[in-house]
Structures are given as C-alpha cells and as structure tokens.
Amino acid sequence: MNEKEFENFKLKKNKPKRIFLIRSGESEKDINLKCYETIPDNKIKLSSLGKKQSDVCGKNLKKLIGNESVYFYVSPFKRSIETFEHISKAFNV
C-alpha cells in the first residue's frame, strides 16, 4: 500500500457507515399545546407513550446496528435527553 492509499484508508476508517436521525418520542406538548403557557419548550418532557416509543426505537435500532460502534449526539432539550435515555437502554449505555 502506498502513502496515498494509506491516507485514503485512514480517512475512510474514521467516517461513519451511516447516520440515523431520530426525533423525540411523543411529548407533553403533543398531547396538550397549552403546556407552552407554563413550561419552557426546552423543559417539556416525554409522555408515557413517548417513553414506550423510545424503548421500541432503541430495540429496533440495536437490531439494525448489531455490535457496530455507535455515537449519540443529543439535543439539550429535556424530551431529547429522555428519548436518548430510553434508546440507550438497548445499548447498555
């Protein structure tokens, strides 16, 4: 392998195979828009259905990914963090 081939190999090695974008599960605002009157958008939590949706999403994602390396980038919004927490259970994070 020459130097150029080696550099290309290194660059490809560090790139992800694929990227998944996941929206948060159902949140309180999806059930009742009036919650915006008393709760800031970034503090709105998942509903009980949203937690179940996130658990299922995690299991399905784990089946799809298997034992590949995985990195999560998560919005600081409460519902996004809660979605991640439920998804990550399937990955033992």
If you write DSSP's letter for every residue of the chain in order, what string do you get?
--HHHHHHHHHHHTS-S---------BHHHH-GGGGGTS-GGGPPBPHHHHHHHHHHHHHHHHHHTTS-------SSHHHHHHHHHHHGGGT-
What's the chain's length in residues? 93
Tell me the C-alpha distance between 31 and 29, whole Å: 5
Which listed CATH number (3.40.50.1100, 3.30.300.20, 3.40.50.1240, 3.40.50.300) goes with 22-91? 3.40.50.1240
pLDDT-derived band at 3, boundaries 50, 70, 90:
confident
- pLDDT at residue 8 above 80? no
pLDDT digits (tens, 9 = 90+) for 31-54: 999 998 999 999 999 999 999 999
pLDDT band at 2 (very low <50, low <70, confident <90, very high): confident
Domain-wise residue ranges, the chain: 22-91
pLDDT of 13 > 70? The answer is: no
Higher pLDDT, 86 or 6: 86
The burial class, CB within 10 Å (0-12 / 13-18 / 19+), for 38 is exposed
pLDDT at 14 over 90: no
Task: Give the pTM.
Answer: 0.81
